[in-house]
Structure 1
Amino acid sequence: MVEEGNSIHVLYYDKDFKYAGEEDIISEVLPPNSTLKIPKDGIISPLFNPKIDDWVESASEEYKDSIKPDPPTPSEVQELKDQVAELYYLIAMGGE
């Protein structure tokens, strides 16, 4: 129960239980299709599961992989370091 004048932070979900936004409200009861639970860190596409009263991940592994940033390209300095290391290796192996 919320004391009058105090706000609560509610998270909404749609008819399919997908995350649908959030807001601070002043109310003694939760609005329909809402919860006070906050999704755990790392959840990309939150889906509310009322049976366990918590958010779960709904994004597929394929989708999560597709949104990962590309690895950074090596800097010119790193490329030169790699080339020098390769040359040292070739020299150490007799030039072959």
Structure 2
Amino acid sequence: MIWVYKYDENYIWQAGKDILVDVENGEKIPKGYTDKQPPDGLFIAKYDPNKEEWFEAASKEYMDSLQPDPPPPDDVALLKKQVALLTLQLSQLQKGGAS
């Protein structure tokens, strides 16, 4: 028995629809399935039947949209920024005004 991996009419992997096929007893791999496992880490796995391999079909924009937003700066980082700005303004005043 081997696992086979389903893809749709556009060759996109259909996660969760994988099945076991008993090839040792003559069972054939059904159409729309392959015995090549999609590699981990693909956002949208697409199968190339000519090369018999999976590749990434997701655009960079799509992958970027799934990344979490960066966390907001913490209070210490905000205070450091304010201190730096105030220090700059103070040094400009001591030199005779802002340039």
Give me the whole-angstrom Cα distance separating, in 1, the residues matched to 2:48 and 2:38: 11
1:1-80 → structure 2 map (5 Å cutoff):
7-21=1-15, 22-23=17-18, 25-28=20-23, 29-80=28-79
TM-score normalised over the length of structure 1: 0.68
Aligned pairs, how many? 89
CA spacing shift, 1:25–1:74, aligned 2, 3 Å: same
CA distance in 1, matches of 2:84, 2:76: 12
Q: Is the radius of gyration larger for structure 1 or structure 2? A: 2
Name whichever structure is richer in strand by fraction: 1
TM-score w.r.t. the length of structure 2 is 0.66
Q: Which runs of 5+ in 1 are unaligned?
A: 1-6
Which structure: greater helix fraction? Answer: 2
For structure 2, which runs of at least 5 residues remain unmatched after alignment? none
Q: CA RMSD in A?
A: 2.4
Q: For residue 4 of structure 1, what is the aligned residue in structure 2?
A: none
Instruction: Report % sequence identity.
Output: 35
